[in-house]
Structure 1
Amino acid sequence: MLPYAADSLEPRSGQAPIRRVLVVDDSPLQLKILSSMLQRWGLEVSQAQSGAEALQVCDRLRPDAVLSDWMMPGMDGLEFCRRFRTQCGERYGYFILLTSKSDKAEIARGLDAGADDFLTKPVNAGELRARINAGARILQMQRQLSATLGRLQAAYDAVDRDLRQARTIQEALVPRRSRRIGASQVSLLLKPCGHVGGDLVGSFSHCERSVGLYSIDVSGHGITSALMTARIAGLLGGDFPDQNIALERIVHGTLFRPPEEVARRLNDRLVADPGVEEYLTMAYAVADLDSGKVELVQAGHPPPLLLHAGGGADFVGQGGLPVGLIPGARFERLSLQLRPGDRLLLYSDGITEALMPDGRQLDLAGLRALALEVQGQGTEYLDDLFWRLTQRTRSGVRLEDDVSAALLEFGGIQA
C-alpha cells in the first residue's frame, strides 16, 4: 500500500515519512517547475542553487528528501550527495539525482556516492510522484527499523546492566581468593568468559587441621549456569557451616563427610529438581593438614594435578560420572599423600580445552608442562598460570570457556 493517495501526496494515515523536500538546481526555471509540482502535492519545499547553499539548508531544516541536479558548477550533485550523507548522520534522507545520464557506469558512480534513485530530465510529473512514493516507503521502513533498534538497544542495555550486577554477585561467591590454614594455603582463580559463567571454586574449613576445596563446572554457559553455581555455593559455603552439606554436626564438633557422600548428596538434590536439565562436573578434596592425607572425588571433572615439591607432576583419577545427570549415581573415593611443599591443583576444562594457534587443545600434557614452568605461590601462581595460558591460545586474552582453579599448597605440620 502506498503511503500517499494515488492523485496526491497526502498521507493515508498518520504522519507522512516525506514532508520536507529540498530541490537543488542551478537553473531557476527547473527550481520553479519542480517546486511547483511538489507543492501541489502538499509538500514543504525548500530551494538551493548550489551544493554549498544546499548543505546550509540541510543543516537548518533536515529535509526528508532531496532532489538534486547532477551537473552543477562548483560542487556537483555527486559531491553534494556524499557530504549530505555525512552531514545527516543517523537520520536518513532519501536522495534523488536528476540527470540526463543513462550509462551504467555513471549510474554506478551515483549509487556509490549515496544516491537512492535517479530521474531523467526533463522530469515527468507522474514519474516524480512515483519516485517520491517509493522513497516514502523506504523511509517509513527505515524509521520503523530505527525505532525497533532503539527499543532493542534499550532492552540490551537493561540486560547488560543486570548481567554486570550478576557478575558482581557471582564474584562475591569467591570472597577470598587466598586463605592460610596453619602452614598450608588455599588459593582460588575464577575467570568467566562472559558476564557470568558456570564455573565455581571454593574452600571451607571448620578448624586449623583440615580443609575442603572444590572445582565445579556447570553444563552450559550464561545465566542458567550462573544460577546453578549460586545454588551450589550455598550448599558448599564456608560462612554458614550449618548449611554446608559437606559438613556433619556431631555432639562434640563438626566433621567432614566423605567426598563420595558429598557428591552423592549433590546428585540426589539436582536430580530431584523438576525441570532442571543442567548437571555439573566436580573435583572435591578434603585434606588433613596434619598428616598430608587427601581424600577426593572426581565426578566427571578433569583429573587433579599433583605437583611434587621435588619436581614433576602427576594426574590423579580416572573420571567418574557427572553430578545431577543420573539418578542414584555412585562415586568413588580416591586417596593420595602430600609431602611438605607439594601442591594439589583442581581446575576446569576451560584450561585443558583452550585452543592453541594450530587448532589443537592444550590438553593434559600441555597443562602439565604449563604448570611446571609457572613460578610463584598462592594467587600469584594462579594468575601467572592464567596469563601464560592466554598467551598460548589462538584468540589471545579472550578464551572461549570459563577458566577456574583451586590450589592447595601443603606446608606440613605447623611447629
Structure 2
Amino acid sequence: MKAAKRTAPATVIAPAPLRRTVLLVVPDPAEQAELAAILLHDGYEIIEALTGADALELCLARAPDIVLADRALPDMSGLSLCAAFRRTERQSHGYFVLISSDGSDAEMQAGLREGVDDILTKPVAPMALRARLAAGERLLRIEEELNASNAQLRSAMERLSQTQAAMERDLREARKLQQGLVRERVGRFGMAEVSLLLRPSGHIGGDLVGFFPITDQRIGLFALDVSGHGVTAALLTAQLSVHLSGSPDQNVALRGAQSGADAVTPGGLAHFFNTMMLEEMNTDSYFTMIYGDLNHRTGKLRMVQAGHPHPVLQRADGSIQRLGKGGMPVGVLERPVFDEFTVRMKPGDRLLITSDGITEASAPNGRLLGDDGIEAIMRTNAFLGGVAFLESMAWSVSEYCRGERLDDMSALLLEMRADGP
C-alpha cells in the first residue's frame, strides 16, 4: 500500500486551495505522474495506490471524494474495484472515474452496471480529465447541499415534533380544564332532572352545556356552540361559562335577582350576549344558543333559540315535536331576531337539546343524521333516561358516522319525573 503525497514540480504555478481528495490508482508510474501533475495544479489533494487491494484500504482509511482508477490493475479489474468501492460504508457517494483504453458503448454499459460514474479513454487528455472532474465536482456539491438541507430539515422536524408534543400535553390539560367547566353532569330540582353530555371532537372545543338554580322554584338551562374549533373557540366558551356560572355575582342571568327584581329573561340574556360580542370582544367568532328558564313546580319553560338546533320535546305518550323557529346566532348582527317561546312540561315529558355536532353527524355516504335521526334515537331509547340515554345517543351517533366525527358533540336532557315532590 502506498499513501504518499506528491509535491508539485517547481515550474508549476502554485495550487489553489485544496478542494477534494483524489485517489489515483494507476499501475503505470509515468502515467500516474502525468495525471498527478494535472491534479496538483488544479488544487486537489492526491493519495496514490498501485493495486486494487491498496486502493480499497485507502478508501476505508481516507474516504476519498474522487477515485481515478485504471481499467487493468495487477490484482483486479477497475470494474471490480468500483464494485467493491460501492459496497464500502461512506457518508457520501464518491465519484468514480474509470480510465480505459476501450471507449465503446459496451465498456460504458459495463461500467454503469458496476457503479462507474464516468469513463476516460486513454491516452488521457488534460481537458477531458478536467471536464470529468468538473462534472464530479458538481455532483458532489449538489450531494453536499442536499445533505445539508436534509440535516436542517431533520433538525427542524425534530424541533417541530418537540413543539407538537408540548402542544399536545398543553391541549390535553386544557381539555381537562374545559371538562371542568361542566361542574355537575346531573341535577335534580323537584320534578325536574337535568343530565349533560359534552364530547369535544379534538382536545378542546367550543360547546358548552349547563344549568343553575335561579330561585327555589326555577332553574336556568343553557346550551352553547361557539363557531370554529380549537383554542379560540375554547377561550370564548370559557368566558361564556363565567357569565353562566352558578355564582350569583358573576352569572348574568341572576343579576336582576340579586337586586330583588326578576332574573334576566331568556330573550334579554341573548341580547346581552349579542351586545357583548359586538362591542366588547374583538373577534370574528359567534355562537348559537338555547337558554331556558324552567319553573320545575309548574312545568312552565320559557326559552330563547338563537341559531341553535331545534329542541326536541317527547311527551309521556311518546309523541315528538320540534320546538322553535330557529332565530339568529349571537354576535352577528346589531339588531338580531331571536326566537322566544314558552312550553309546558308535564310529568313523563322530556326535552332534548343537542348541538349541530349531533344533528349534522355525517354517514360515510354523506347523509346527515338530522332531526329525523334524533327522533329515531329518542324513540329507540325511550326506555332509557338521564346519563344512560345520553351515552346511548352518543354511541349511536359515533356508529352512524363510523367514528369520523368532525364536530364537538354536546347535549342537555331535561326530564320531568312523575315521582317528584
Residue aligning to 2:325: 318
1:226 corresponds, among 215, 222, 234, to 234
Q: Is the 8 A contact 2:66 2:96 kept in 1?
A: no
Q: Which residue of 2 aligns with 1:147?
A: 155
Alpha-carbon distance, 1:66 to partner: 11
Q: Residues 414 and 274 (structure 1 numbering): CA distance in 2 closer, same or farther, change over 3 Å? A: closer
1:5-20 map, 5 Å: 10=19
Q: Distance in 1 between matches of 2:65 and 2:243?
A: 64
1:331 deviates by: 2.8
| Cα offsets for 1:307-359 (capped at 9, x unmatched) | 22221321101101111111233434211111212111111111111111221
Aligned to 2:9: none
Map of 2:347 onto structure 1: 340
SS in 2 for 1:163: helix
2:118 alignment counterpart:
120
Retained in 1: the 8 A contact 2:293–2:303?
yes
What's the TM-score, normalizing by structure 1? Answer: 0.73
| 1:376 CA drift (Å) | 2.2
Structure 1 residue 218, shift from structure 2 partner = 0.8
Unaligned stretches of 5+ residues in structure 1: 1-5, 11-18, 111-117
Conservation of the 8 A alpha-carbon contact between 1:290 and 1:413: no
The answer as to whether partners of 1:289 and 1:413 remain within 8 angstroms in 2 is no
Partner residue in 1 for 2:416:
410
Q: Shift of the alpha carbon at 1:247?
A: 1.6
What letter matches 1:317 in structure 2? G
C-alpha RMSD over aligned residues: 4.3
**Residue 163 of structure 1: how far off its partner (Å):** 2.0
Q: Secondary structure at the match of 2:197?
A: strand
Tell me, yes or no, if the aligned pair for 2:18 and 2:44 is still in contact at 8 Å: yes
Q: Which residue, out of 80, 93, 117, partners 1:95? A: 93
SS in 2 for 1:193: coil
Quote the offset at 1:148 in angstroms.
Answer: 2.1
Aligned to 1:265: 272
Q: Is the 8 A contact 1:290 1:412 kept in 2?
A: no
Pick the aligned partner of 1:281 from 281, 288, 291.
Answer: 288
- Structure 1: distance between partners of 2:222 and 2:66: 67
Q: Give the aligned residue type for 1:273.
A: E
Deviations 1:86-132 (A, max 9, x none): xx9xxxx443585988669x88x98xxxxxxx613569544433332
- The residue matched to 1:150 in structure 2 has which SS? helix
Aligned to 2:407: 401
Does the Cα contact within 8 Å between 1:291 and 1:412 map onto a contact in 2?
A: no
Deviation of the 1:241 alpha carbon: 1.8
TM-superposed deviation, 1:188: 0.9
Structure 2 residue aligned with 1:3: none
- Alignment identity in percent? 32
Other structure's SS at 1:246 match: helix
- The amino acid of 2:394's aligned partner reads F
Q: Does 1:366 align with 2:373?
A: yes
User: What is the CA-CA distance between 1:180 and the residue it aligns to?
Assistant: 2.1
Give yes or no for contact 1:348–1:404 (8 Å, CA) kept in 2. yes
Instruction: Tell me the SS of whatever aligns to 2:138.
Output: helix
Larger Rg: 2
Partner of 2:185: 177
Q: Is the 8 A contact 1:268 1:328 kept in 2?
A: no
Flag the 1:330–1:65 CA change in 2: closer, same or farther, 3 A: farther
Cα distance change of structure 1 residues 392 and 330 upon mapping to structure 2, 3 Å threshold: closer
Matching residue of 1:307: 314
In structure 2, relative to structure 1, the CA distance for the partners of 1:76 and 1:242 (3 Å cut) is same
Q: TM-score, normalised by structure 2?
A: 0.73
**Separation in 2 of the partners of 1:373 and 1:66?**
77
Paired with 1:149 and 1:183, the residues of 2 have a C-alpha distance of 58
| Cα separation, 2, equivalents of 1:207 and 1:64 | 88
For 1:76 and 1:213, how far apart are their aligned partners in 2? 79
The 8 Å contact of residues 208 and 410 in structure 2, kept in 1 or not, is answered as yes
Change in Cα spacing, 1:195 to 1:66, as seen in structure 2 (3 Å) is: farther
Give, in angstroms, the shift of residue 227 of structure 1: 0.8
Number of matched pairs: 365
Verify the 8 A CA contact 2:214 2:220 in the aligned structure 1: no
Contact 2:65 2:95 in 1 (8 A): no
Cross-structure match for 1:14: none
After TM superposition, the structure 1 = structure 2 runs for residues 121-140 of structure 1, keeping only pairs within 5 Å, are 124-140=132-148
| C-alpha contact 2:242 2:251 (8 A) present in aligned 1 | yes
Unaligned runs of 5+ in 2: 1-14, 70-77, 99-106, 121-128
Amino acid at match of 1:337: R
CA distance in 2, matches of 1:250, 1:407: 26
Are 1:267 and 1:323, in contact at CA under 8 Å, matched by a contact in 2?
A: yes
2:407 counterpart letter in structure 1: D
Does the 8 A contact of 2:95 with 2:140 survive in 1?
no
How far apart, in 1, do the equivalents of 2:366 and 2:136 lie? 58
What is residue 115 of structure 1 aligned with on the other side? none
- 8 Å contact 2:196–2:413 — kept in the other structure? yes
CA distance in 2, matches of 1:251, 1:385: 38
